[in-house]
Amino acid sequence: DIVMTQFPDSLAVSLGERATINCKSSQSVLYSSNNKNYLAWYQQKPGQPPKLLFYWASTREYGVPDRFSGSGSGTDFTLTITSLQAEDVAVYYCQQYYNSPLTFGGGTKVEIK
Amino acid sequence: QVQLVQSGAEVKKPGTSVKVSCKASGYTFTSRAIHWVRQASRQRLEWMGWINSDNGDTKYSWKFQGRVTFMRDTSASTAYMELNSLRSEDTAVYYCVRGGDKYDSWGQGTLVTVSS
């Protein structure tokens, strides 16, 4: 199984400041034939299902604010929130869908400092 | 709009089975696979497998192989997940998820509690 490791486990950021979440996979999730990274990011708020933010590592889902960005390739990925808003308080997960079983990171909890 | 609506919470005894339904609307049901993901309290999301909504082919995570069955009823645009031989560690929220190039629509979740 591909192991997804997220860090930090949690972070507290002031409103309007940058939040950076890292995700590392135990093997590459870049498929060479189409040059796509099979990596997604989700946001989950309490009592709600996860919400898709990015797929193919950096393709923003419809309706996701542009203060969110996804980057990285191969085994190392980053989710950045450039100007944290109160509504961004949540747990963020990365997921690989390169091969089965699909696996998720352990989550990063983002709070307001 | 796309919606996946799941059945309600269940309380089950160890050793029994549970069946969760997931009714899709807002898109052509057979055009996208349905995946199942669960989330136990304070645990990471765990993928269980998926079903091809068109032809019914299934792929199960090795962890659940032999204990889980996915089904679908195309006439009702509904997918089902049945988990057998329940144990306390199966207590979790179970989600159905629309698959494909992206996993963009999730059901609201079904809490399954396994307790004697």
pLDDT for the residue numbered A103: 97
Two structure tokens written together for B40: 């136990």
- Closest-CA residue of chain A to B60: A101
Place of tokens 């989600």: B95
A95: chain B residues, CB-CB within 8 Å: 45, 103
- Closest-CA residue of chain B to A109: B42
Please state, as a whole number, how many other Cβ atoms lie within 10 Å of the Cβ of residue B92: 21
Distance of CA A76 to the CA centre of its chain: 11
CA distance A108 to A83: 17
pLDDT for the residue numbered B42: 78
Mean pLDDT, each 10-residue run in order, chain B (116 residues)? 98 98 98 97 92 97 95 98 97 97 96 97
CA distance B56 to B66: 17
pLDDT for the residue numbered B41: 87
Mutate which: A31, A100, A102, vs B, most B CBs within 10 A = A102
